[in-house]
């Protein structure tokens, strides 16, 4: 049996890169933050970090709490901000937590107001590498408007959690090599 040169038999198994040792195959992987890319840092596999929040005065949080629990069980790192946040607070938390995904849930009809605002702030803060998901009780006729406003995907009430998990893994495959 022949082994590739990266096994250490005919070449270096790991080489130092910025003071840390990494397998050569891991160099150049996407998915790290903009600050990390600028410094030439590429992370080893890690959990996808998901920030979930309720925005505005919507006080219905059972669905997003269930989703947070299911995402944790699926191997994601979940930061749940809770209810009554402004778009600015959500984006600031996303930057501080260095998340890969922002998920916002709406049940009271505020989705057409807050989705464009969150998307605008994400662009202003250069969060182009962060996936923006919207979910909740949303009329089907509003889906095109939400996607045009900047949501990467919209999940309406009743969607299976496995579909949400599958979507995230497909969009951020660097964390889950088996998700391709």
For 126: left if phi > 0, alpha if psi spans -120 to 50, otherwise beta; the answer is left
Pairing of strands 20-22, 77-80: unpaired
Res. 167: pLDDT tops 90? yes
Per-residue confidence (pLDDT) for residue 38, from 0 to 100: 52
> Rounded distance, CA 128 to CA 102, Å?
12
User: What pLDDT sits at residue 150?
Assistant: 97
**Model-wide pTM > 0.75:** no
The string of pLDDT tens digits covering residues 15-37 is: 333 333 333 443 444 445 555 54
In angstroms, the CA 66 to CA 164 distance is 13
Q: How far apart are CA 93 and CA 54, in angstroms?
A: 13
pLDDT of 159:
95
End-to-end CA distance of the chain: 27
Q: What was the pLDDT predicted at 6?
A: 43
Per-residue pLDDT at 73 exceeds 50: yes
pLDDT digits (tens, 9 = 90+) for 79-128: 999 999 999 999 999 999 999 999 999 998 899 999 999 999 999 999 99
Query: What's the pLDDT score for residue 147?
Result: 98
pLDDT surpasses 50 at 67: yes
Place domain 49-175 in its CATH homologous superfamily. Answer: Cobalamin-binding domain (3.40.50.280)
Domains in the chain: boundaries: 49-175
Strands 77-80, 49-54: pairing is parallel
Segment 114-154, tens digit of pLDDT? 999 999 999 999 999 999 999 999 999 999 999 999 999 99
pLDDT attached to residue 180? 33
- Tell me if 101 sits within 8 A of 172, measured CB to CB: yes
């Amino acid at each position: 049996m022949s082994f590739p040169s990266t096994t250490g038999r005919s070449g270096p198994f790991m080489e130092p890169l910025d003071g840390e040792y990494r397998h050569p195959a891991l160099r150049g992987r996407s998915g790290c933050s903009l600050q990390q890319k600028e410094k030439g840092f590429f992370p080893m596999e890690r959990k996808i970090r998901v920030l979930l929040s309720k925005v505005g005065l919507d006080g219905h949080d059972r669905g997003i709490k269930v989703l947070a629990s299911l995402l944790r069980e699926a191997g994601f790192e979940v930061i749940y901000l809770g209810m009554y946040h402004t778009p600015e607070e959500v984006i600031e938390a996303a930057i501080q937590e260095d998340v890969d995904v922002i998920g916002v849930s709406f049940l009271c009809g505020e989705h057409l107001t807050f989705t464009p605002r969150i998307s605008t702030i994400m662009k202003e803060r250069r969060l182009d590498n962060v996936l923006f998901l919207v979910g909740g009780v949303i009329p089907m006729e509003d889906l095109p408007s939400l996607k045009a406003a900047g949501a990467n995907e919209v999940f309406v009430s009743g969607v299976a959690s496995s579909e949400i998990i599958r979507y995230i893994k497909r969009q951020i495959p660097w964390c889950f090599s088996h998700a391709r």
